[in-house]
Amino acid sequence: MPQALQPHAVPGAPLEDVVRFALEEAARHGATQAEADASTGQGLGVSVRLGEVETIEYQRDRGLAVTVYFGHRKGGASTADLSREAVRASVEKACAIARYTAEDPYAGLPEPEALARTIPDLDLDHPWEIAAEAAIDIARRCERAGMQVDARITNSEGASVNTQRHTGVYGNSLGFLAGFSGTSHSVSCALVAQQDEQMQRDYWFTAARDPLELESPEEVGLAAGRRACARLGARKLTTRRAPVLFAPEMARGLVQHFVAAISGSSQYRKASFLLDAAGERVFPAGVHMSERPHIAKGLGSAPFDAEGVATHDRELVAGGVLQGYVLGSYSARRLGLKTTGNAGGIHNLLVGSAAARSREALLREMGSGLWVTELMGQGVNGVTGDYSRGASGFWVQDGAIVHPVHEVTIAGNLRRMYQDIVALGDDIDARGTIRCGSLLVGEMTIAGD
């Protein structure tokens, strides 16, 4: 097992020392197993509206979470104080809690053979040494570019710049001790357009691990302004059934519902519309989903999961067939399976098809239907799969955009919607853990006037 951090991965040894000390204290109190996660974070966030500074926020966080096991009894405690006295007190509290909890036969650390034996360098750490004044200037440039798109841009909800750096070290009593640093940066803008009595808003953003890979602030502002203007003249629709094309950033949400349904906790609690679906054809044969945790600079990349288990490439959906679940060690034991290295979530899920098409081709294939560019509300039932959300976007007729649409609801059932996927787009949105292009569903209910 790895006994130390990679030299470049963590700036100095304090966090490693904190974790090691916590584990030693747990052993001294008689814990049969223990794990500890220490972290520090720092960041800067600024926002402007109509050229005026609205917020400047500096963040500095640190913390330690300790979990101990006495047989199958579990206790946990946390602290924001990393001094030895505070760590010692936290371990004592965790041990006291464990002694009074009921036994859980599934509780415990991962199997030793599952732990990461090497820690790959995924190039996740790209600090942005930017002063607040420079960040404010970027936000102003972004908003100004958007406001100049069109005279109908009459107001702004603001532009923002955010930069974060997080360093974490995880260790357990099985001999694992490792950590790494990662950064995330973003620029965003939301603008309001007005024509006659109607006002519409829209936004755009860019996000990356490396600030050099962000879109320029002017590009973000221009996109936000154009999108807001494009929505002017929006109309309602009469209730109907029609194809629905989800823009990439909306399609990601459909995939998130799928991931939640196949998570270990949903499966062992029997609270999933995809209960026991492993081995079943959930999507059309052309759809595949691949987890790729080791993409350099990936926003969802990680060398190991929240339990120190090695992350690895896997095919989650192949030929439309669900290959397995998303599991940490606890949920895996509850299901009689092995952890998949997903304690804490999925890592870079790539959604695609060998026959992926351009957005223009998808609009032509849809013929007449609704292109959804924004969703509202939380009307999704994870147990039944029933889906109903407010939507806005554009009505498409004969493959061409006719007019913007607002104040409608789209409804269906996720299991049927997945089966009814007609095609996927090649316009992949990589600004998140799930990388997905546009997604065309053959038919849904569109509720309007």
pLDDT digits (tens, 9 = 90+) for 167-189: 999 999 999 999 999 999 999 99
| In a domain? residue 307 | yes
Last residue of a domain, one of 230, 263, 294: 230
274 and 156 both lie in a single domain: no
Structure tokens at 117: 């034996």
32 and 52 both lie in a single domain: yes
| In a domain? residue 81 | yes
244 and 177 both lie in a single domain: no
| In a domain? residue 142 | yes
CATH number at residue 82: 3.30.2290.10
304 and 284 both lie in a single domain: yes
Going residue by residue through the chain, which has 449 residues, state the pLDDT in tens, using 9 for 90 and above: 333 333 333 444 699 999 999 999 999 999 999 999 999 999 999 999 999 999 999 999 999 999 999 999 999 999 999 999 999 999 999 999 999 999 999 999 999 999 999 999 999 999 999 999 999 999 999 999 999 999 999 999 999 999 999 999 999 999 999 999 999 999 999 999 999 989 999 999 999 999 999 999 999 999 999 999 999 999 999 999 999 999 999 999 999 999 999 999 999 999 999 999 999 999 999 999 999 999 999 999 999 999 999 999 999 999 999 999 999 999 999 999 999 999 999 999 999 998 999 999 999 999 999 999 999 988 899 999 999 999 999 999 999 999 999 999 999 999 999 999 999 999 999 999 999 999 999 999 999 88
- The model's pTM is 0.93
| In a domain? residue 89 | yes
Q: Which residues contact 326 (CB under 8 A, 6 or more apart)?
A: 259, 262, 263, 264, 316, 340, 342, 345, 346
Q: How many domains does the chain have?
A: 2
323 and 175 both lie in a single domain: no
Q: d(Cα 25, Cα 83) in Å, to the nearest integer?
A: 13
255 and 204 both lie in a single domain: no
Instruction: Look over the chain and give the mean of its residue pLDDT values, rounded to a whole number.
Output: 95
Judge contact between 400 and 385, C-beta under 8 A. no
Of 272, 251, 277, nearest to 261 by C-alpha is 272
Last residue of a domain, one of 182, 207, 230: 230
223 and 262 both lie in a single domain: no
Q: Give 88-130 pLDDT, tens digit per residue.
A: 999 999 999 999 999 999 999 999 999 999 999 999 999 999 9
Judge contact between 240 and 205, C-beta under 8 A. no
| In a domain? residue 8 | no
27 and 174 both lie in a single domain: yes
- Its sign, for the CA torsion 380, 385, 381, 408, is positive
| In a domain? residue 4 | no
Enclosing domain of residue 265: 240-447
Last residue of a domain, one of 230, 264, 286: 230
29 and 159 both lie in a single domain: yes
The pLDDT of residue 2: 35
